[in-house]
Structures are given as C-alpha cells and as structure tokens.
Copies of this chain bind each other. A is one copy, B any other.
C-alpha cells in the first residue's frame, strides 16, 4: 500500500506554492466513475467547464484545456504560434522564467533574455520600460513574441502585465504577448482580454486547487491567426482540432475526465465564493504572512512592495543558515512542507505557499510551524511573527457587538 499512509499522526500541512492542498470536495468530485468521453454526459460536462474556465481567465476567447501538466502548456503556447528560429523576448524574473527560456531554446527558438543581474532580477518584476525600449529597437520586427511570467513561483513577485501590454503598444510592435500565470490564476487578479494577452498559460495545481494534470492556453484571435503560419511541428498541442471539437464539449483525443470533474467542482467553489472575494482573501493572508516575516526580522524575497505576490511569500534566510536544512527541521518536527529555494536562490530562501484552500487558521498553523522551526534551527528572530500575523488578521475583522452577558 502507499507509503503516504505512514505520515505522523495528524494532518500534513502542504504549504508549498503548489501543488496546493486539494479540498476534500474536489477529491470527492474526482472520484466520480469515469464516463464515455464520446457520450452525451461528457459533452455537457465539457461545455460546462469550458464556459466556467473563461470566467476565471476573464476572457471570451477560447481556452484550450490540455490533459497534461503545466510545462506542456508552456510548450503549446510556443509551438502553436512560432516557427523555428523565431526570436522571442523573454524576461528573467526567476527560476521558472529561466526554465521557460531553456524550453524555447530546446524547441529551436532564439530567446533574448532581459533582466537585472545576479539575484536582483529575482527580487523584482518585469520592467516594462526595458521591454518597450528593446521593441523600439526591433524595427524589422524580428521579435515574434514577448514572453513573461505573471506570478513568479520561485520568488513571490507578481509582475504588472498591463504595463507590458502598454509597453508593446507604445512601441507599436506586432509581437505576440504570451504570459505564464500558472501559479497566479484564481489567486491573483488576472485579465486575459482586458490586458490584451495573446496566449495565457496556466495549470491546475495552484489557485484552481486541483491535483496537477491539466493545463491551459487562453488564446486571442491574433494568436489563432499567428498559429496558421507557425511552423514548429505539433500534434498533441495543436489548438485547431481542440478548439473546433470544444464547440460541442468534446476533445479530439482522450481528455483527462476525472480532472475535469475536479475542475467543475473547483469552478463552482471559486465562482461561488466570488473571484473578488477569492483575491481579497489571498491578499489578506499574504499581508499577514509578510508581517510575520518582518517581525522575525527576516527579509522578504520580493523587493518591490507593489509586486508582492498574494500566492506565496519568499523568505530569505540569514547568512550561515541553509534554508533547506531549516525546511528539513520543519518537515520532520512539524509535519509541514515548505517550498525550497530554486536555482540562484538554492539554500538562501524558503517559500511559504498561502494559496487556494487557505484560510486564517491554516496560515497561522503554517507560521507557527515556521517560527518554531526557525528557533529550533537556531536562527535569531527579532520577535514573534505569529503574534504579528494575528494582529494583522484580527485588525481586518469588524469589531463584534457582544450582547450584554
């Protein structure tokens, strides 16, 4: 039987910035028996989830759902719109932006990689003015696409996508705007249509609170037009047949039926709570988490307060303290998983996820686990982050009126 059963007693706290904890409701929905993906019930399910997911992306354009995890949707965005040798302008915001750039190279594209040097680029967001500047130089329109990450999961920095759109427009450049919001969708405000994004890439295992296994391309008409001339070979990722068969709620090949059940339930939960309420909840928890980090006297990875992520908070560990050793202490003593530092930040930070199925008390449990673990690890703390977070959260509640006792 599965070794997962042998966790210590009590609930494990999965506080990595994704996969986020999957609500029981969604796990139950996913255990509906698999149905015929060519039958009438499936068509109804397909239409339902396709309509619902558009509301999450804030788009009236097609959203392609792949039976594949998020990395595949990265590839799909590139192969549907580009041809071998095309130049793409990418921006180094962190580890995932870097991986995406490597994928572009592997696929035969020529990425240019803007960004600040050293770890500075990993503490700030996309600088739209630099993109504008570069596009203005590209008078021959060699650059076919601008690819940026909205919520950089490796750092906790959420870039301003509307500003990137304005930069492209200001430069009068025809490049496509391709955005990864794998970890931002349904946790941070995102507006595919309003921001003029051509392809938005996302996945299931973050704000949508699903297990990993399905991923998305929201596409603009401009992107679809571009796909007619894009020459990178593609079959599984090809939008054409999918978008056509989606008209009736079906897919050209076997979809990931049980994850679509989960998606249906997730949409009901998120749209039932209200997207704005979901976003406000994430902002509230993120704010309390940052107050905790400040109270500990530790540094928040994101150096630009305007770009703090509502999804996760990157915490830099003081020199001499290996972040992964601290994470291990927390894992072993307090049955909690935190995100590791990736790439350039390896050993120098850990990441606290506070997304999806998260509320005040799960955050407090998380922060208590961090605080106890940091102390156990001998990290000198300036004060109690837990107390600071409680003060933050309580201050956001309206004062109750007690009846006279």
Taking CB atoms and an 8 Å cut-off, the chain A residues in 10-68 that contact chain B are 10-14, 16, 18-19, 21-25, 27-39, 41, 44-45, 48, 66-68
**The one of B33, B37, B281 that contacts A12, using a Cβ cutoff of 8 Å:** B33
Instruction: Across the interface, name the chain B residue whose C-beta is closest to A384.
Output: B387
Q: Say whether A213 contacts B75, CB under 8 Å.
A: no
CA distance A74 to B347 in the complex (A): 39
CA distance A3 to B268 in the complex (A): 13
Residues of chain B within 8 A of A74, CB atoms compared? 235-236
Taking A67-B69, A255-B69 as contacts, is the C-beta distance between A14 and B34 under 8 angstroms?
Answer: yes
Chain A contact residues (Cβ within 8 angstroms of B): what range? Answer: 35 or more
Q: Say whether B361 contacts A334, CB under 8 Å.
A: yes
Residues of chain B within 8 A of A69, CB atoms compared? 67-68, 253-256
Q: Say whether B321 contacts A405, CB under 8 Å.
A: yes
Taking CB atoms and an 8 Å cut-off, the chain A residues in 198-219 that contact chain B are 203, 205, 211-213
Instruction: Across the interface, name the chain B residue whose C-beta is closest to A393.
Output: B372
Of A120-128, A301-309, A362-370, the one touching chain B = A362-370
Q: Say whether B253 contacts A71, CB under 8 Å.
A: yes
Q: Say whether B211 contacts A257, CB under 8 Å.
A: yes
Instruction: Across the interface, name the chain B residue whose C-beta is closest to A387.
Output: B384
CA distance A198 to B299 in the complex (A): 52
What are 22 residue pairs bridging A and B, where the CB atoms are less than 8 Å apart in the complex?
A11-B359, A24-B31, A67-B72, A69-B254, A70-B253, A70-B254, A71-B235, A71-B253, A72-B72, A106-B234, A107-B234, A211-B257, A212-B255, A322-B402, A325-B403, A335-B359, A335-B361, A364-B386, A372-B390, A375-B390, A377-B400, A384-B386
Question: With A212-B256, A372-B390, A386-B386 given, can you name 11 additional A-B contacts, CB distance below 8 Å?
Answer: A3-B44, A9-B359, A11-B362, A19-B254, A24-B31, A37-B212, A103-B236, A211-B256, A233-B233, A364-B365, A377-B400
